Amino acid sequence: MGDVDEIVLTIPRERPFYGVAHLVLGGLGSRLNLTYEHLEDLQLGLDSLLAQHEGEEEVTLRIRVRDGAIETEIGPFPPAVSQALEEEAGDGVGLRRILDTVSDGVELGERDGAAWITLTKQVDGSGR
């Protein structure tokens, strides 16, 4: 308890590279004995975010495992992505609704003028 494992992955922000992030999540999921549903939720949340802003620059994923949860911090995104998530907090079927469905927590942050989004997924009991 209390230990934190962290994996940092930086990839091009292009769809062919999403598979690399899936491999990392899959390997981590295997190590933690995650259910297929937990792993699928993590991958869907990740893909939904990555699809928001494809482009030339790279994207970084910081995946932390701590106390029965996986936190995935993803960025940088233009501030407009963060603003869209805040505005979508209502009843729409947009990105925010997807992220709220597949994760147990969505946190918006900012670093160096860019948006960073952290998804938390509870996996209690799966890694024991």
What pTM value is reported for the model?
0.84
Determine the pLDDT at residue 86. Answer: 78
- Name beta bridge partners: 112: none
Residue 80: in which H helix or E strand, if any? helix 79-87
What rounded mean pLDDT belongs to the chain? 83
Per-residue pLDDT tens over the stretch 49-75: 888 776 678 999 999 988 888 999 999
What gap in Å lies between CA 74 and CA 63, rounded to an integer? 9
- Ranges of the chain whose pLDDT falls below 70: 1-4, 54-55, 88-93, 125-128
Q: Which residues contact 81 (CB under 8 A, 6 or more apart)?
A: 49, 52, 53, 115, 117
From the options 3.30.565.10, 3.40.50.300, 3.10.350.10, 3.40.640.10, give the CATH code of 4-122. 3.30.565.10
Determine the pLDDT at residue 54. Answer: 64
Structural domain boundaries of the chain?
Answer: 4-122
